[in-house]
Amino acid sequence: MSLQERDKAHIWHPLTQHKTHPDVLPIHKAKGALLYDENENTYIDGIASWYTCIYGHCHPYIIEKVYAQMQQLDQIVFSGFTHQPAVELSEKLIRILPQNQQKVFFSDNGSTTTEIGIKMALQYHYNKGNSRNTILAFEEGFHGDTFGAMSASDLSVYNGPFEEHFINVVRIPVPTMDTIDAVLEQLKQLITTHQIAGFIYEPLVQGAAGMKMYPAEAIHPILELCKSNEIICIADEVMTGFGKTGPHFASESIATKPDIMCLSKALTAGMMPMGVTTCTQKIYDAFYSNDMGKGLFHAHTYTANPLACASASAGIDLLVSDEIQQSKKRIAQAHIEFVNRLEKHSKVTNVRTLGVIVAFELDIKMERYGKLRDQLFEHFKNQGVYLRPLGSTIYILPPYVTTTDQLNKIYQSIDSLLNSL
């Protein structure tokens, strides 16, 4: 039996309707920006495997650090114990996060980091004796697949069967410089009619919505209004974190800093699953009490797994290195030049770039997971490029180690698609 046939026998893949999409491509090796199938065909990983492997696959420095940790301590309960990899990682994170972030709470994926952030906001007010039961979120946001995270999300393709079970959430449109005044007025009304505990948002870029971008100046007054009304601001940087928008975190580009930040994906450079939710001293202090019930009762078996901590710590070493920072600038500049070409094409709309992210829409009506989208996916695969269109949105978010030649091949695969339309 082939690997594909063995896969079909037992495996249920994510975001897959197996009746209409029965086949998957076996990948047996990855190195740098390249994926290798069983026949040694290569594919440039143009989305860093869902924004995780930003320093490239199987980076030798990260492997070295994780291997060393495997021989020392593999797993330990993090309730009542601590260990050096977790302490070192927390210190490295605090050094690169916005200065108001002071505490680090570990979990094991992106959804749990936002789930914890939402729980922190709700319990913060509960511990303070405030009756606040509602979360504020942006329209078209996406924050994960667990129930609190899914409640705050606004993509019906994910949420449909579960909506009657959600927590209380109210939404405002993503602001532009033209609409910010109207959005602020809408928010003021919501504040008078709802007991809002927290506001969760993707800073600067809404990833799953199709890499939709908005200016830092537009969200700043929203965050200020929230803070003046004791609404806890939760920045979901699961996608944007660790340099993708330019600075280490998108929140650095916004004048008003969040109370809570959610990090995963590139946190461990794609080597191990892990997430962290960070917060200010003010948030932490609301849980600091002689009353055991005021503690944050949230735990995962693999919380602060030493191997994941070692991987994340090594990833931060790479992130702050001159080599990676220069490579990021090189990619961002190449994207700008590519965008200048794209803007002239008649079948392309809304071209945008920020940091290492490029996105645009095809001027064609199509479903998010429809037949035409599948044809786009196959086109890129046949060109030796792994891109995963979100409906009519095509985007690039490559590993920072992607070479100029590899970038050009990604661009050329898009050019050939546009020329075939």
Domains and CATH numbers, the chain: 3-58+322-420 (3.90.1150.10), 73-319 (3.40.640.10)
pTM above 0.75, yes or no: yes
| Token pair belonging to 376 | 């786009």
User: What is the number of alpha carbons within 13 Å of residue 46 lying toward its C-beta?
Assistant: 27
Mean pLDDT over 248-268 rounds to 98
pLDDT (0 to 100) of residue 368 = 64
User: Tokens 């959610």 label which residue?
Assistant: 262
* Distance separating alpha carbons of residues 334 and 331, to the nearest angstrom: 5
Sequence-distant (6+) residues with CB within 8 A of 366 are 372, 373, 391, 392
pLDDT (0 to 100) of residue 20 = 87
Quote the Cα angle for 280-221-103, to 5°: 10
| CA 402 to each of CA 53, 238, 314, 369: distance values in angstroms, whole numbers, following the listed order | 11, 21, 19, 28
pLDDT greater than 70 at residue 207? yes
pLDDT (0 to 100) of residue 15 = 83
pLDDT (0 to 100) of residue 372 = 83
pLDDT greater than 80 at residue 155? no
Q: Do β-strands 34-37 and 42-45 pair in parallel, antiparallel, or remain unpaired?
A: antiparallel
pLDDT (0 to 100) of residue 21 = 85
pLDDT digits (tens, 9 = 90+) for 356-373: 999 999 988 767 666 788
| CA 298 to each of CA 103, 113, 190, 254, 367: distance values in angstroms, whole numbers, following the listed order | 15, 11, 29, 30, 38
* Distance separating alpha carbons of residues 25 and 180, to the nearest angstrom: 45
pLDDT digits (tens, 9 = 90+) for 95-141: 999 999 999 999 999 999 999 999 999 999 999 999 999 999 999 99
